[in-house]
Structure 1
Amino acid sequence: MAKVDYKQSGVDVEEGYRAVNKYKEHAARTVIPGMLTGLGSFNGMFEIPKGIKNPVMVSGTDGVGTKLDIAFKMKKYDTVGIDCVAMSVNDILCSGVQTLFFLDYVACGKLEAEVAAELVKGVADGCVETGCALLGGETAEMPDFYDIGKYDLAGFGVGVGDKKQMITGKEIKNGDVLIGLSSTGVHSNGFSLVRKLVTNFDDKFILDGKDTGKTIGEVLLTPTRIYVKPVMEVLAKYRKAVHGMVHVTGGGFYENIPRMYPKAEGGKKQLISIIKRDSWNIPPVFGELIKRGADVEKVYNTFNMGIGFVLAVDAKEADSVIEMFNKNASKYSKPGIPDMVAYNIGRVAYAEGEVNGQKDAVVFED
C-alpha cells in the first residue's frame, strides 16, 4: 500500500509557514501597548489597561459574508479584511468601548500564501484604523471541503470598558436627536441580494451619464467604514449626552435601530424612531441597485442606505456633537472614499399605539 503524506492529502504545511511569515509583517503594524504576545504563540495575551475601576469585557464577532465572492471574482483581496474588522469593532463600539485586540480566521480549500497574506493585510489595515492589535488568528486549509480559489474570512474583537461608563440605551428618552454617520456604501450586508442584481462586476459604474472610472465591482468592494476613532473622540467630550448607539448592518434601519431602545415595561410607552426623509445624502450605489431591480419598498430593511452608524443624543447637545463630527472628519480621510458626514436624521418619540414589529418601530416622515 502506497504511503501518503499530509501534502499529498491536500494540505501544504510549507505554504502555511510562508503565509504565517507574511502575516507577521502585517501584524507588526498593529502593535500597541498592552500586548504581551504576538503571532506565533498558542494564544494571545493582552493586559487590561490600568485605571479602569470596574472592568467589563465587550466582545463582537462576525464575518464578511458573500461579499467575498466579489473579491474572488475580481481577484482583489486586500480590502475585505477591513470589512472583517469593521463588522466586529463597530458592534463593540455600540457600548461605548474601543476594541483592544482582534483575532482572525481564514479558511480555504487550497492555501495560496500570497492570497491569504492579502486578506490578512486588510485585517491589519482595519486594526490600524481602529487602533487595536492583531493578536493572533488561524489559517485552516481544508481540501475537498472548500472549493479551490475560495476563502472564508471571519474574526472577533475584544474591548474593555468601565461598567459605569457603558452605553446601554437605558438613558434614551423622548426627544433625543438621532444622528446618522454616513456609510461608504453597501458595507458588508445584503450581498446575497447584490449578487442577484449584478451579474457582471466589470460593468462600468455610470453616474449621471458619466463614466466614474470605476467598475460596479470596485464600488461594491469599497470597505466598510470604521467608526471607532471619531465616535470615541466625541464620547471623550459628550459621553453623558450619548444615550444609545447602533451599527446599521443586516436588516437595515428597521431591524437595527430599534435594538438600542429599552423595552417598555410597567405601562410605559415604547420609544420609537422618527426618521426624516431626504435628511442625508444616499450614495449612488443604492440607486444603481434599485435600478437593477432591488425592491424600493424593502431596501431600508436590507441595506444601510448611506447611514452606517446612529447615535441617540440629548437634544441640547446634538448640534454640538454633529459639529464636532464634521469638523474632525478630515482627520480620518481615506484615499478614494468620501469623508464621513454626520446628519440630524430624526428623533426619538413615544409610539402612539402598540408597537407590532419593525414597521411600527421605525417611522419615516417627510
Structure 2
Amino acid sequence: MAQAPHDPYAAAGVDTAAGDLAVELMKSAVRRTHGPEVQGGVGGFAGLFDASALKDFVKPLLATSTDGVGTKVAIAQAIDKHDTVGLDLVGMVVDDIVVVGAKPLFMTDYIACGRLVPERIADLVRGIAAGCEQTGTALVGGETAEHPGLLGPGDYDLAGAATGVVDADRMLGAHRVRSGDAVLALASSGLHSNGYSLVRHIVAGAGIRYSEHAADFGTTWGEALLEPTRLYTRPLLELIGSSAGSPADGVHALSHVTGGGIAANLARVLPSGTWVEVDRSTWSPPPVFRVLADAGRLELTATEGTWNLGVGFLAVVTEAAAEAVASTLSRAGIATWRVGTVSDGVRSDGDFAEGAKGVDGGAVRLVGAYPEAGAK
C-alpha cells in the first residue's frame, strides 16, 4: 500500500499507510489477549489497564521487566520466517517477572524496521500476542517505527516491557533460601533466545547456510535454530499459587537461565555466603547444543557461560518439597530434576560464579561431567 509520490515522508522512505495496514492485520490477535481489565482497545496513545484488583493485596509490589530477542532475529530475517520470535520476546520479558513470584498483568512491544512490510510486522505481533495468551498477559500497546537509512530494508529489531504484581510478604527470592534447600532444573526447549551471536559465529565459520537441511534435526538449520523459547509462566504460577499471589509451601526462589548461563543466573537468587555445586551428570544437553559445539570445535563446558545447555529455569525449594515440586512440573509438561543442594559451609577451592549483574549473591559452579549423547 504505497503512498502518493508527492508525499515527502514517503520520499524519505517512511510509509505511514503501511503502518496502518499492519495494525489492521494484527488487531484480532492483540484483542485475544484482552480481558475486562483492558480499557480503550487497540490503537490509543496509551494502553489502559484497570488496576482495581490491586486493592485486594495487602502491600502490592509492581514487578517490571524489559528485554529483546537479540541476534536471533537475524536468523528469522535470513529465512523469512517471523512468526516465532514474538514468542521469544514474551519468554524473555514475562518469565523474568515470574522469578519474584509476580503474576504478569500487561505488556507493550516496540519494533524498529528499515522498511515496514505490513505482513511481516503482523507476523511478529501475532507471535507476541500468542505468547501473551499463553502466559495470561494482556498486550495493551506497542509501537512500530520505520528507520530507513539506519536499518536495511529487511532488517528489524524488537523489544518489550511487562508489568506484574506480587504481595510484598509473598515475594520469592534469596531472602527465603536456606542451607539444605534443593536446587531443581527445569528443561529448556533449546537455545531459547540467548547466545545467538556465538551460534551465528559458529554457523558462519562452518560455512553452513540457514536454508540448508540439517540431518541432525530433520529440518533446515534456520528452522531448528528458531525453536521458540519455552514459556514457564503458567506452570510456575500454578505451582506457587498465583491466584492469591502466594508461594506454595517450600518454593523459595526461582531463576530464569538467560544470558550468562546456569551458574551466573542461579548465583543471583542465592543469599551471600551460600553456594551450590550443580552436577552436570544429572542431565544430557540436547542435540542442538552438542551439534553446535562440535561445529565450532568447542567443548560443551566452554559454552556454559553463554548457553542454557538444556536448563531454562531453576527452582530452589525445601528438601521436603523437592519431590512434589518436580512431579508437579513434570506433569505440566516440563521435565524437572534435582541438580544440587544449597550450602553455607566451607567450600572447596574452584571456579565459582559469584553473584551477577550487580547482585551480591551466592556462589555457583558446575561440577562433574555431562553424560554421553543420548545417555539420559
> Could you tell me the TM-score, scaled by structure 2's length?
0.87
- The residue correspondences of 1:1-366 to structure 2 (distance < 5 A) are 5-48=8-51, 49-50=53-54, 51-199=56-204, 200-207=209-216, 212-236=217-241, 239-263=248-272, 270-293=273-296, 295-296=298-299, 297-329=301-333, 340-350=334-344, 351-352=346-347, 358=353, 361-365=364-368
C-alpha offsets along residues 334-362 of structure 1, whole Å, 9 cap, x if unaligned? xxxxxx21111221122526887517632
The whole-number CA distance in structure 1 between the counterparts of 2:314 and 2:349 is: 24
Q: Using the alignment, how far apart are the partners of 2:262 and 2:366 within structure 1?
A: 10
Q: CA–CA distance in 1 between the matches of 2:297 and 2:343?
A: 30
Residue by residue, what CA displacement relative to the aligned partner does 1:193-219 show, whole Å, maximum 9, x if unpaired? Answer: 000111311232233xxxx43122111
* Residue aligned with 2:11, SS: coil
> Which whole-Å CA distance do the structure 2 matches of 1:178 and 1:67 have between them?
29
* Contact residue 101 and residue 170 of structure 2 kept, 8 A: yes
Q: Distance in 2 between matches of 1:206 and 1:342?
A: 28
Letter in 1 for 2:74: D
* Structure 1 unaligned regions, length at least 5: 264-269, 330-339
Match of 1:267 in 2: none
Q: Distance in 2 between matches of 1:28 and 1:317?
A: 39
The letter of the residue matching 1:260 is V
| In 1, Cα distance between equivalents of 2:62 and 2:350 | 33
Residue pair 2:280, 2:366 contacting (<8 A) in 1 also? no
Q: CA deviation at 1:97?
A: 1.0
CA distance in structure 2 between the aligned counterparts of 1:102 and 1:93, rounded to whole angstroms: 14
Equivalenced residues, count: 345
Q: Please state how far the C-alpha of 1:238 moved relative to its aligned partner.
A: 5.6
Identity %: 38
Q: Indicate the RMSD between aligned Cα atoms, in angstroms.
A: 1.9
3-state secondary structure, aligned to 2:148: coil
Query: 4+ residue runs of structure 1 moved beyond 4 angstroms?
Result: 353-357
Task: Output the amino acid matched with 2:320.
Answer: K
When residues 253 and 294 of structure 1 are mapped into structure 2, their CA distance, relative to the original with a 3 A threshold, is farther
Look up the match of 1:337.
none
Paired with 2:122 and 2:219, the residues of 1 have a C-alpha distance of 25
The answer to whether the 8 A contact 2:170-2:247 is kept is no
SS of 1:198's partner is helix
Give the Cα separation in 1 of the matches to 2:250 and 2:123: 40
Unaligned runs of 5+ in 2: 355-362, 370-376
In 2, Cα distance between equivalents of 1:276 and 1:11 = 53
CA distance in 1 between counterparts of 2:46 and 2:350 reads 46
- Cα deviation, residue 239, structure 1: 2.4
Q: Which amino acid aligns with 2:188?
A: S
CA contact (8 A) 1:252 1:303 kept: yes
**Paired letter, 2:39:** L
Task: Give, in angstroms, the shift of residue 9 of structure 1.
Answer: 1.1
Cα deviation 1:125-173 (Å, max 9, x = unaligned): 1101111111000000111111110011110110011111111211111
In the alignment, is the contact (CA less than 8 A) between 1:109 and 1:142 conserved in 2? yes
Query: Counterpart of 2:330 in structure 1: which amino acid?
Result: N
Could you say if the C-alpha distance between residues 57 and 354 of structure 1 is closer, same or farther in structure 2, counting changes exceeding 3 Å?
Answer: farther
- Following TM superposition, by how much is the alpha carbon of 1:33 offset from its aligned partner in structure 2, in angstroms? 3.3
- The offset of 1:294, in angstroms, is 5.3
